[in-house]
Amino acid sequence: MARRLLVAALAAALTILTIMTSAAADTLSWQHVPVPAQVRPQTGLNEAVAFGPDRAWAVGADAVGREAPGFPLVLRWDGSAWQRQPLPGIGWQGELLSVAATSPTAVWAVGRDAAGAAHLLRFDGDAWSESRPPRGVVLSKAVAGGGETWLIGSREGAQVLLRWDGRGWRDVPVPPGAVYGLHILAADDVWAAGAAGSGAAVSHWNGQTWQQTIVDGFPRSAVSSVLAVSPTEVWAGGTAGFVGGPVGRPIPPLLVRFDGQEWSRVTVPSDFGSISSLAPDTSGELAWVAVARSEKWGPPGSNPPLVPGPDFLAWNGQSFTEYSEPAVAGEGDSSMLRLAPVPGTATVWSVGRAAGPEGTFAPRILRFG
């Protein structure tokens, strides 16, 4: 009898613990993380990359005036706070647009100065320094994955893709149209998100040629993020093009999924906005979708007709859970949301910029988990 009572008590305790754990998981939310005090007003962040709970980088520009370009900015997360990183010998004015890394000692950042010239920075584990950019190329993005590092840019008005071979940057053929984002699994397994003349396009590189598919046929639709989970599961997100409607002509988000045979559109709980970023979980499955400038239709007859929509969507394999970014005193909503998952954990960062007072903007760093 005593044994049965003990078993029953243990079962009840486990049930309560499970309920408490589930409730705690359900109460998780996105939290605002402050930038360091050394960062000056009018700062914007463009992208981040993480390698662990105590190792992440974010890039952008600070001290941006109404007519001044600002200065390149690098922040580093040390596990407890973001710190501004020194950039010795880098005195040009401009902005860092993108950051990517194959390891904590091989971090690349691309930027552009006030005159439009390209800049390429590299962190070797100890310090940041200028690296010679590819000749004649205006850089816009760095992407890393599968031990590879690629650059997206343009040369004499034509788009180019470049791959680091360990000694220098080598041109890679470009698929038709424009490329806005890449997901690199290996040198011969690369997915590109972009647009062609007939609509949003996703292309796959097998090491020799690109195979392109139009994933949405509206002529002004485009995808900027792509996440390849497996040959039978690939996601891409962007915008579905302009539509008629309220003043401002809002744009609906576009999320599509490939099942190995065909691409299909996935409904998201946001009527307008742009899917700006996709992030995987620790197994590589889709975990998060960021929707910048997200809006929904309000109740019939409401004024204004649109209400704020979810900023983040968590995917559990079957459906989305909606999350909003936290309110920050003296600031408005984010106009840019770029996700950076922390490998080996359920934590994910979001960086960007938010509306500030009197038409200004402010840096925005958020964290989930």
CA angle 250, 213, 207 (to 5 degrees): 125
pLDDT value of position 38: 85
Whether the pLDDT of residue 31 is over 60: the answer is: yes
19 in helix, strand or coil? helix
pLDDT of 2 strictly over 50: no
Average pLDDT (342-352) is: 97
Residue range 255-289, pLDDT digits in tens: 999 999 999 999 999 999 999 999 999 999 999 99
Within 8 A by CB and 6+ apart from 213, the residues are 201, 202, 203, 263
CB 102 within 8 A of CB 147: yes
Q: What is the pLDDT of residues 55-89, one digit of tens each?
A: 999 999 998 876 678 999 999 999 999 999 999 99
The residue with greater pLDDT, 9 or 323, is 323
pLDDT digits (tens, 9 = 90+) for 153-177: 999 999 999 999 999 999 999 999 9
pLDDT exceeds cutoff 80 at 6: no
The reply to whether omega before 305 is within 30° of 0 (cis) is no
pLDDT digits (tens, 9 = 90+) for 315-345: 999 999 999 999 999 899 998 999 999 999 9
- Please return the burial class of 89, using the count of CB atoms within 10 Å of its CB with bins 0-12, 13-18 and 19+: exposed
Return the pLDDT at 67: 67
Per the CB < 8 A criterion, the answer to whether 235 and 287 are in contact is no
Residue 110's nearest CA partner among 37, 43, 158, 60 is: 60
Kindly give the pairing relationship between strand 199-205 and strand 210-216.
antiparallel
Q: What is the total residue count of the chain? A: 369
What is the rounded distance in angstroms from the CA atom of residue 156 to the CA atom of residue 296?
A: 41
Instruction: Say how far apart CA 143 and CA 145 lie, in whole Å.
Output: 7
User: What's residue 195's pLDDT?
Assistant: 96
Q: What is the pLDDT of residues 83-130, one digit of tens each?
A: 999 999 998 999 999 999 999 999 999 999 999 999 999 999 999 999
Q: What is the pLDDT of residue 241?
A: 81
**26 pLDDT more than 70:** no
pLDDT beyond 60 at 25 = no
Q: Determine which helix (DSSP H) or strand (DSSP E) holds 160, and give its type and residue range.
A: strand 158-164
Amino acid identity, residue 197? G
pLDDT surpassing 90 at residue 238: yes
Per-residue pLDDT, averaged over 17-38, amounts to 68
C-alpha angle 352-358-363 in degrees, rounded to nearest 5: 20
The residue with greater pLDDT, 13 or 149, is 149
Q: What is the pTM of this model?
A: 0.89
Under the banding of pLDDT at 50, 70 and 90, the label for residue 20 is: very low
| Integer Rg of the chain from CA | 22
User: Tell me, what's the pLDDT at 247?
Assistant: 52
- Which amino acid type is present at position 112? R
pLDDT of residue 333: 92
pLDDT number for residue 302: 85
**Average pLDDT for 357-367:** 90
Q: Is the pLDDT score of 8 beyond 60?
A: no
The per-residue pLDDT for 153 is: 98
Element (H or E) spanning 225, and its range?
strand 222-230
